[in-house]
Amino acid sequence: MIVDTLANRHIYQSLSPRLATALAHLATTDFSQLPVGNYPLDGDNIFVIVNDYQTEPKSTKPFEVHQKYIDVQYVVSGEEEFGYLPLADQTPSKAYFEKHDYAEFDYQSNKADASFVQLKAGMFALFFPGDIHMPGAGDVATAVRKVVIKVKI
C-alpha cells in the first residue's frame, strides 16, 4: 500500500508501465467534469471508474482484496477514511469472486488489527494484490468524488 499526493506521482511511475499510464491519466484529466461511469484506458489492462458517493460508517463496510489488479484510488473532491488490514491468517467472509476480482473480509472480525488513514482531495492510494483495504469509510457522511483506476498486474 502506498498513500501520497498526485504531485509526487513521478516517484511511483517506475513500478510498472501500466501504473505510469494510470498516474499520468490522473494528472491530465479533469474528473470533476466527467460523468460517473466506467471508461476503458487500455482494454481490460487499465480501466477507470468514476464514482460519487457518501462515506459510510466502518461498521457497515467490508474490507476487500484483489488478486489481478492494483487499485489506484484518487479522491477528486471530499475526503474519506480507508482501512488497511495486513494480510495474515484472515478468513474471507465472502470467498474470492474471480469475475470481479475481489474477496471480502468482515470488519467486526478484524477491527482490532485494522488501521485507518484519511484520504483527502488530491491524494491517492495504491492497493496492491494482497493489500486488504476498506474504501469509503467515514464517521460522518461526506460527499466524495473518487476515481479508481484498475491496473492489471
Q: Residue 87: pLDDT band by 50, 70, 90 thresholds?
A: confident
The stretch 136-146 carries a mean pLDDT of 96
Where would I find the H helices in 29-128? 107-110
The stretch 34-52 carries a mean pLDDT of 97
**Cα–Cα nearest to 66, from 38, 37, 100, 94:** 100
Write down the domain spans for the chain: 2-152
pLDDT, residue 89, reads 72
- What CA–CA distance (Å, rounded) separates 83 from 134? 5
pTM for the full predicted model = 0.94
**Cα–Cα nearest to 39, from 29, 25, 49, 26:** 49
Q: In the block, which residue shows the cell 466502518?
A: 58
Please name the fold of domain 2-152: Jelly Rolls (2.60.120)
All three cell numbers of 111: 477491527
Q: Residue 49: pLDDT band by 50, 70, 90 thresholds?
A: very high
